[in-house]
């Protein structure tokens, strides 16, 4: 479905300042690719380059094929048509993804009507249906709320529903749970998994959190300083990582878990 070859992203038009070098991976239908890496390793730049969301000051080279079409050579108009309907993106920060001036219902209806010829009433009805299908309740009153009236976790879940409503073939979720608490994190992950099962949507799940990635991904790519340092099945990456840095990430995580368990067992101070 998605095939990325030698993707390079630089700033200022010259390759002298690469932010992402030589990233290659492919994603099959119904599969989830996890992109793992610490902050600043190039995960968001990679996703935004794939989805054509980088400003013009960035230079992008390589090949990005989506269902046989070359995304990098498309005009902005062609890309816009593809975005949302075929490729949906869930952003890291829910607050900036919504317009504070309009109700969530209004924004959802506008987005749906941009891609489908439905009346406002039909579009609202469709969105309410999707919200219920991801286990949200009191849906009608949710639709009449403005973004600032809801928690980050709630907005994140609504953003997942927004990504779903157009039944895209691919969802790119860039750290979709970073801004939210642990309970809402689990909800968002559950919803993404539900979507995969229900609609067979492919997923790119970006995170710096090893346990989240190991939970949801079939394959994992590890990034470090703009480079792809490991790529393989989730099992392979977590049991036989090729790169020392991946091993370091896994070991650090395990040490943390062990310390946490020991602290819990020793009881309150």
Stretch that binds Mg ion, among 40-48, 165-173, 184-192, 225-233 (CB under 5 A): 40-48
184 near ligand ADP, judged by CB under 6 A: no
**According to CB under 6 A, which one of 7, 32, 33, 42 is a site residue for ligand ADP?**
42
Stretch that binds Mg ion, among 35-43, 72-80, 111-119, 134-142 (CB under 5 A): 35-43
41 near ligand ADP, judged by CB under 6 A: yes
Q: What is the DSSP string of the chain?
A: -EEEEEEEEEETTSTTSEEEEEEEEEE-TT-EEEEE--TTSSHHHHHHHHTT-S-TTEEEEEEEEETTEEGGGS-HHHHHHHBTTTEEEE-S-HHHHS-TTS-HHHHHHHHHHHHS---HHHHHHHHHHHHHHTT--SHHHHHT--GGGS-HHHHHHHHHHHHHHT--SEEEEESTTTTS-HHHHHHHHHHHHHHHHHH--EEEEEES-HHHHHHH-SEEEEEETTEEEEEEEHHHHHHS-SSHHHHHHHHHHHHHHHHHHHHHHT---
Positions 5 through 34 that interact with ligand ADP (CB under 6 A)? 11, 19
Stretch that binds Mg ion, among 7-15, 43-51, 97-105, 140-148 (CB under 5 A): 43-51
59 near ligand ADP, judged by CB under 6 A: no
**According to CB under 5 A, which one of 44, 51, 59, 184 is a site residue for Mg ion?**
44
Residue 164 and residue 127: Cα distance in Å, rounded? 9
Measured from the CB atom, the residue of 39 and 137 that comes closer to ligand ADP is 39
232 near ligand ADP, judged by CB under 6 A: no
Positions 85 through 104 that interact with Mg ion (CB under 5 A)? none
Number of residues that bind ligand ADP (CB under 6 A): 10
Q: Which does 232 bind (CB under 5 to 8 A by kind): ligand ADP, Mg ion, none?
A: none
41 near Mg ion, judged by CB under 5 A: no
Measured from the CB atom, the residue of 10 and 147 that comes closer to ligand ADP is 10
> What is the contact surface with ligand ADP in residues (CB under 6 A)?
11, 19, 37, 39-45
């Amino acid at each position: 479905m998605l095939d990325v070859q030698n993707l390079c992203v630089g700033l200022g038009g010259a390759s002298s300042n690469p932010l992402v070098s030589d990233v290659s991976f492919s994603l099959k239908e119904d599969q989830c690719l996890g992109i793992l890496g610490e902050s600043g390793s190039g995960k968001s730049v990679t996703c935004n380059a794939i989805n054509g969301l980088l400003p013009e000051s960035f230079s992008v080279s390589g090949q990005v094929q989506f269902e046989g079409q070359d995304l990098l050579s498309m005009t902005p108009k062609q890309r816009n048509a593809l975005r949302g309907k075929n490729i949906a993106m869930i952003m890291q920060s829910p607050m900036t993804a919504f317009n504070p001036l309009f109700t969530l219902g209004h924004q959802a209806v506008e987005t749906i009507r941009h891609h489908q010829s439905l009346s406002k009433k039909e579009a609202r009805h469709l969105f309410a249906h999707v919200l219920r299908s991801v286990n949200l309740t009191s849906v009608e009153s949710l639709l009449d709320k403005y973004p600032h009236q809801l928690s980050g976790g709630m907005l994140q879940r609504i953003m997942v529903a927004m990504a779903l409503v157009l039944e895209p073939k691919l969802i790119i979720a860039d750290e979709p749970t970073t801004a939210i608490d642990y309970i809402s994190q689990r909800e968002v992950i559950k919803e993404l998994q539900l979507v995969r099962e229900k609609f067979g949507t492919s997923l790119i799940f970006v995170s710096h959190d090893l346990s989240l990635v190991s939970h949801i991904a079939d394959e994992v790519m590890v990034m470090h300083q703009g480079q792809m340092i490991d790529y393989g099945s989730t099992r392979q990456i977590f049991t036989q990582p090729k790169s020392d840095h991946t091993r370091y990430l896994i070991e650090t995580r395990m040490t943390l878990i062990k310390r946490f368990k020991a602290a819990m067992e020793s009881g309150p101070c």
